[in-house]
Amino acid sequence: MYEGFHKYIPFQPVPLPDRTWPDKVITKAPIWCSVDLRDGNQALIDPMNLEEKLRFFQTLVDIGFKEIEIGFPSSSETEYEICRTLIDRNLIPDDVTIQVLVQARPHLIKKTFEAIQGAKNVIVHFYNSTSTLQRKVVFKTDMQGVIDIAVNGAKLIKELTDEEVARTGMNIRYEYSPESFSGTEMDNAVAICEAVMDVLQPTPENKLILNLPNTVEMSTPNHHADQIEYFCRHIKNRDSLHPHNDRGTATAATELGLLAGAERVEGTLFGNGERTGNADIMNVAMNMYSQGVDPELDFSNIREIREIYEKCTRMKVHDRHPYAGNLVFTAFSGSHQDAIKKGIDYMREHDTQYWEVPYLPIDPADVGRKYEPIIRINSQSGKGGAAFIMQQSFGYELPKAMHPEFGAMVKAACDEAGRELLPNEIFDIFRAHYLDVKYPYNLKKYKLYEENDTEGETVVHFEGNLRFRHEDHLISAVGNGPIDAFFKALRTVGIHDYKFVTYREHAVSEGADSKAISYIQLTAPDGRTVFGVGMDGNISLASIKGIICAINRACSEQKDPEGEAK
């Protein structure tokens, strides 16, 4: 029996029967604050070096973050140095505010003010832990003791801010975090924040940011939202969320927290951070995007952002990570593939302004991803899946009548391989079954030219060297078009009774060149219909090659026993 659950105390929700957040929807982006360079960085096995932090900082600026927590400058020389480098090298755009974290302890606060000298816009973010559990087991103090720490910290910060502003005009804002907010009794959380506000005296123009960390996620997101709504009702302020992801629901907690009244979100890219991480800002932002809300952050190049993130943090983004994972725009199931194809066709045909493709919550192109990897083929894929890959990845538009035949070939190859096939492997099957079929007939040399006949009508001459098995036959004929001439030439060596059923051709680019590809469906003398494919720079020769391919495919012996049919 798995009995250990008895030792856990269930979370005690705040009673809020008249909660209003469940009926709300998110209609605008919050203020975003990236804590990648602090919360994210402190949770790395190898924290970022100066160069990596600078690169990451620039990436955050490029994405559009206007508030960036750059570190904990009083905690180490390295942290101090990054703060100084950003300021001294003038790397902080005027519209970006750097945020610096500090514990509510006097010597650390003083060092922090030294670190920010010369900056234009700064948020001084101070915190102390307030939770029931930490008071009991860590600080061994009552709530008043914890309030005193916060109030004394606030007094010193206010004093140093007033001096700094008078001296340099620096734009300093305050942020206070009752750390472990979600594990704190709500009336105590309100009391400590009120005490801090009494000291800092925020005004409507210069509000204090009250950050409400879900330091350890301990409840379902609805109970977290109740806590936020409770707090917002008691203190009207610029309340900020700082969710962690211990239960794996930080995205939901962030979204419900916004419904509950928060105006600001602290989090990281891809959810890096202590233990299971912080809230993933990219995820929350792209969720808004997918609902038609401008997230005010730009993830249109998510591959590059992910690459920089992986390089700097040495963390890996999971293959299933929303919007960014390798596999998130891939459909394995045949019915999904079919529906995606139909959705894409529908959008093209109807020129709709909305994204209306089943199974793809957003257009992969919106995050800089491509359509090619959307569908990969396994033995469950429908008959249209392989044709879709040929179209999306290689530009080959197989006629619909050919889909079942080619789909069956790909399915057989999947079954044999016992795994999914990649687009290149699907192309190899196509090549082997259609493009490289040059036995028993192989057209070695060919010439087409036009002439006027005795009655002044334009006629087409076909001349060629048709190899049958290992014998060359010079064939020639005149017809009213290239295909007519070729069929007549074939008759001179006894090939007749093949009839055209359908024909389709289109251009396909091969490197810098464009070639014509023809799909020819013939009826063989025994009544079977066969497809052949021909490709050539000359559209008429593409069709002629397609006819030979179809005839070869109708023959029982398609492999040269001497292995030289090239």
The contact set with ligand KIV (CB under 6 A) reads 39, 127, 177, 179, 211, 213, 215, 242, 244
Amino acid at 364: P
Nearest to ligand KIV of 252, 344 (CB atom): 252
Nearest to Zn ion of 39, 217 (CB atom): 39
Q: What is the 3-state secondary structure (H, E, C) of 447-495?
A: EEEEEECCCCCEEEEEEEEEEECCEEEEEEEEECCHHHHHHHHHHCCCC
Listed in sequence order, the residues at least 6 apart from 101 whose beta carbon sits closer than 8 Å to its beta carbon are 38, 69, 71, 72, 125, 126, 127
Q: Dig out the tokens for 174 from the structure.
A: 């305050």
Closest to 362 measured CA to CA, from 334, 306, 322, 396 = 322
Residue 312 C-beta: closest distance to Zn ion, Å: 19
Binding to Zn ion (CB under 5 A) within 379-438 occurs at: none
The option from Zn ion, ligand KIV, none interacting with 72 (CB < 5 to 8 A, set by class) reads: none
36 counts as binding Zn ion under rule CB under 5 A: no
Residue 175 C-beta: closest distance to ligand KIV, Å: 9
Residue 509 C-beta: closest distance to ligand KIV, Å: 52
Nearest to ligand KIV of 41, 393 (CB atom): 41
The torsion region of residue 450 among left (phi > 0), alpha (psi -120 to 50) and beta comes to beta
Residue 343 C-beta: closest distance to Zn ion, Å: 40
The option from ligand KIV, Zn ion, none interacting with 177 (CB < 5 to 8 A, set by class) reads: ligand KIV
Residue 209 C-beta: closest distance to ligand KIV, Å: 11
| Whole-number Å distance between alpha carbons of 503 and 544 | 11
The option from Zn ion, ligand KIV, none interacting with 53 (CB < 5 to 8 A, set by class) reads: none
Nearest to ligand KIV of 177, 393 (CB atom): 177
Nearest to ligand KIV of 100, 282 (CB atom): 100
The sign of the CA dihedral 196, 198, 201, 204 is positive
- Ranked by CB distance to Zn ion, the top (closest) residue is 39
Nearest to Zn ion of 39, 52 (CB atom): 39
Nearest to ligand KIV of 281, 550 (CB atom): 281
Residue 151 C-beta: closest distance to ligand KIV, Å: 18
* Kind of pairing between the strands at 458-468 and 97-103: unpaired
| Whole-number Å distance between alpha carbons of 190 and 188 | 5
| Whole-number Å distance between alpha carbons of 179 and 512 | 60
The sign of the CA dihedral 4, 5, 8, 9 is negative
The option from Zn ion, ligand KIV, none interacting with 217 (CB < 5 to 8 A, set by class) reads: none
The option from ligand KIV, Zn ion, none interacting with 121 (CB < 5 to 8 A, set by class) reads: none
* Kind of pairing between the strands at 499-510 and 67-71: unpaired
Three-state DSSP class for residue 267 = strand
Nearest to Zn ion of 219, 521 (CB atom): 219
Site string for Zn ion, 284-323 (x = CB under 5 A): ----------------------------------------
Residue 39 C-beta: closest distance to ligand KIV, Å: 5
| Whole-number Å distance between alpha carbons of 210 and 266 | 12
Listed in sequence order, the residues at least 6 apart from 526 whose beta carbon sits closer than 8 Å to its beta carbon are 554
Phi, psi angles (nearest 5°) of residue 310:
-70, -35
Residue 176 C-beta: closest distance to ligand KIV, Å: 10
Nearest to ligand KIV of 245, 521 (CB atom): 245
The option from ligand KIV, Zn ion, none interacting with 127 (CB < 5 to 8 A, set by class) reads: ligand KIV
Nearest to ligand KIV of 182, 540 (CB atom): 182
Nearest to Zn ion of 39, 280 (CB atom): 39
Per the CB < 8 A criterion, the answer to whether 292 and 298 are in contact is no
Residue 177 C-beta: closest distance to ligand KIV, Å: 4
Choose which of 36, 39, 217, 255 interacts with Zn ion (CB under 5 A): 39
The option from ligand KIV, Zn ion, none interacting with 179 (CB < 5 to 8 A, set by class) reads: ligand KIV
Q: Dig out the tokens for 197 from the structure.
A: 């506000």
Count other Cβ atoms within 10 Å, centred on residue 562: 9
Task: Measure the CA angle with vertex 66, ends 69 and 270; round to 5°.
Answer: 60
- Residue 55 burial (CB < 10 Å; 0-12/13-18/19+)? middle
The option from Zn ion, ligand KIV, none interacting with 321 (CB < 5 to 8 A, set by class) reads: none
Residue 351 C-beta: closest distance to Zn ion, Å: 47
Angle between helices 423-430 and 403-417 (to 10 degrees): 120
Residue 56 C-beta: closest distance to Zn ion, Å: 17
The option from ligand KIV, Zn ion, none interacting with 403 (CB < 5 to 8 A, set by class) reads: none
| Residues making contact with Zn ion (CB under 5 A) | 39
